[in-house]
Amino acid sequence: MKKQVSKTTSTEGNIEESGLKTLFIDELKDILWAEKHLLKALPKMAKGATSEELRSSIELHATETENQIKRLEQVFELVGEKVTAKKCEAMEGLVEEGKEMMEDTETGSLTRDAAIISSSQKIEHYEIASYGTLRTLANTLGLSEAAALLEETLEEEKNTDIKLTQIAESFVNESAKAEKE
Ligand SMILES: [Fe+2]
């Protein structure tokens, strides 16, 4: 087994110099941009939804997203960094693709909802991966308060993903199957 090369987790001084800390901050900036970008897109997705269930679930997620942004700002504060957002190419692409998928489906159809659910889940999975990594890095760096805040958001994102699956499987997919192209 390869020997562990470096260990920079124990003291504040070490954390300051750690490349992992820099990676952590960069990832924070990325997800902050991603959340802000998503927050702007969510009202359009809610408006485009056919079913009340999907619309209200997206609206709830918009409120959650506002809180998630506040939590990220708290994390920046906890680690003594200026709140900064750095463009996230992935989220820009995911949102753009979601918009295209919506435009390719009929207004008022449940195929439209299936498309919105699909793109929303791709977005959620990106966020779940990001917050999972951030939470783990925060723990590794000994930033337990930051880790707790990131964990809270991670759980919210997972619940959103589960809720989207439930909406798809409870009626959207079956009803969409009967729709003509
Ligand atoms: Fe989020």
Per-residue pLDDT at 5 exceeds 50? no
On whether the CB atoms of residues 164 and 121 are closer than 8 A, the answer is yes
Distance 5 CA to ligand 1 centre (A): 34
CA of 13 relative to ligand 1 center, distance in Å: 31
pLDDT bracket for residue 181 (50, 70, 90): confident
Q: What is the pLDDT of residue 178?
A: 92
How high is the pLDDT of residue 8? 44
pLDDT tens readout for residues 9-62: 444 445 556 899 999 999 999 999 999 999 999 999 999 999 999 999 999 999
pLDDT tops 70 at residue 163: yes
Report H helices in the chain.
12-17, 19-48, 52-78, 89-103, 110-140, 144-167, 173-177
Q: Return the pLDDT at 175.
A: 93
Give the model's confidence band at 128: pLDDT under 50 very low, under 70 low, under 90 confident, else very high: very high
Hey, what domains does the chain have and what are their CATH numbers? 19-177 (1.20.1260.10)
pLDDT at 162 over 50: yes
Instruction: Residue 36: name the closest of 93, 102, 91 by CA.
Output: 91
Q: How far is the CA of 105 from the centre of ligand 1 (A)?
A: 25
pLDDT digits (tens, 9 = 90+) for 63-103: 999 999 999 999 999 999 999 999 999 999 999 999 999 99
pLDDT of residue 180: 82
Query: pLDDT value at position 120?
Result: 98
What pLDDT is recorded for position 3?
Answer: 43
User: Which residues hold their Cβ within 5 A of ligand 1, which is an ion?
Assistant: 65, 68, 127
pLDDT confidence of residue 17: 66
pLDDT value at residue 44: 96
Question: Can you give the pTM of this predicted structure?
Answer: 0.89
The whole-angstrom separation of Cα 148 and Cα 154 is 10
Q: How far is the CA of 166 from the centre of ligand 1 (A)?
A: 19
Establish how many alpha carbons lie within 13 A of residue 88's alpha carbon, considering only the half-sphere containing its beta carbon.
25
